[in-house]
Amino acid sequence: MPLRRRKGIAHRHVKTIFEHSDADPRLRTERGEGHDFRDCSSQNFCDLCGQVIWGIFKPGLRCRNCKVTCHTRCREDIQLDCQHQEGQKSFGDQQEHLPKEDAKPARVECQTLTREEIEQMIKVYNSQVNNKFGMELLPDGGFTGFIKVQMHLQRPVSVAGTVGTAVSSPSLNDTGQRTTFYLPRGTEKQVHLSNSNMAREVISALLHKFHVLDNPRKFALFQCSGPASCMTKRKLEDEENPLHLRLLAGPDMAATRFVLQENETGEVIWDAFTIPELHNFLLILEREEESYVQKVQEKYSSFQEKLHEALAARKPG
């Protein structure tokens, strides 16, 4: 799977993602050049270390052009050059022919089907697709099948940077063990699942297939429906079942398709984290609050000192 080409630069081979290839002449050393970083106050995930950017007391940084997002402390370690080329639209201006998500998308209740209805719908579905990607009815009334997910990611993702490294819970601070790159836009992946697999599980499965270490909460699964001229886009909730939606919509990708994008709501879903992670977040917030309070105190102490100096230099009367 080749990475995104850039003008005047030979594309990297997939081996250079998972293996050390210092001698590969096609590679160009990148130094994190060309970025136009601005303060980003929304809560997000750092594209370098993977930790949460709270944006409360210490805003993060985001490149105005290529949307790379990081902590202020991680800026010097960014090695990917900006993907924005002269004369191109920035990633924020590119629509990729996808509609914008509604501000408050309505929840779509999945239609409850009997076993007979499911069996009949599966027969109709299978008659319209390649047998390799058909659905199968299980003895317990459930069913399995495939959905195709398109990857439309603006920001880079991270994989394990060491050959043969099996990382189930990587140290988010160990940026040396992470290799950051851009996944090609429009990449498609078939995912096999059952009617019991929820949207959040699909996202985790996709990240696992690509060996991505980023927190699954950085991403969201969207359902795009209707013709291109009036297409609607809706973010799936965690407990929604994509295979059920696929069966109801039929196999026509032009009518309904699933897209993986960054989860840019800025909201933090607290019950998605473990107790140790929540404790770590509290410690981070406490440290940031202490640092913020200290800066405010230093600022006004400086004002107070200058005021006293001005009063002492001023003659009475």
If one counts every other C-beta atom within 10 angstroms of the C-beta of residue 110, the result is 14
Q: Are residues 298 and 192 in the same domain?
A: no
- Indicate the number of domains in the chain: 2
Say which residue the tokens 């917030």 belong to: 285
Tell me, yes or no, whether 249 and 298 share the same domain.
no
State how far the Cα of 173 lies from the Cα of 89, in Å rounded to an integer: 33
* Statement to judge: residues 237 and 290 lie in one domain: no
The total of other beta-carbon atoms located within 10 Å of residue 19's CB is 12
- Which domain does 308 fall in, by range? 273-313
Alpha-carbon span 4 to 277, nearest angstrom = 34
Q: Is 201 domain-assigned?
A: yes
263 and 148 belong to one structural domain: yes
pLDDT at 169: 40
pLDDT of residue 25: 46
155 and 213 together in one domain? yes
81 part of a folded domain? no
- Does residue 85 form part of some domain? no
- Residue 260 sits in the same domain as residue 249: yes
Do 232 and 217 lie in a common domain? yes
pLDDT of residue 28: 54
Residue 35 forms part of a structural domain? no
- pLDDT (tens digit, 0 to 9) for every residue of the chain, 317 residues total? 444 444 443 333 333 333 444 444 444 567 788 899 999 877 788 998 888 887 665 688 999 988 899 999 898 888 888 876 443 443 334 444 455 555 444 455 556 888 999 999 999 999 998 878 899 999 998 999 999 999 989 899 988 765 443 333 444 445 557 788 888 877 889 999 999 999 999 999 999 888 899 989 889 999 998 776 777 889 999 899 999 999 999 988 878 899 999 987 655 656 656 788 788 878 888 888 898 899 999 999 999 999 988 888 876 65
Asked if residue 217 and residue 151 are part of one domain, the reply reads yes
Domain CATH for 221? 3.10.20.90
Q: Report yes or no on 91 lying in a domain.
A: no
**Co-location of 153 and 264 in the same domain:** yes
Counting other chains too, the contacts that 272-280 makes at CB distance below 8 Å and 24 or more residues apart are: 272/217
Instruction: Quote the pLDDT of residue 219.
Output: 93
State the pLDDT at residue 29.
66
Give the pLDDT of residue 175. Answer: 57
Verify that 251 and 294 share a domain, yes or no.
no
Same domain (yes/no): 124, 192 = yes
Domain contains 249? yes
Closest CA to 32 of 68, 71, 2, 56: 68
Predicted local confidence at residue 119, as pLDDT? 93
10 in a domain, yes or no? no
Q: Is residue 102 part of a domain?
A: no
Residue 219 sits in the same domain as residue 302: no
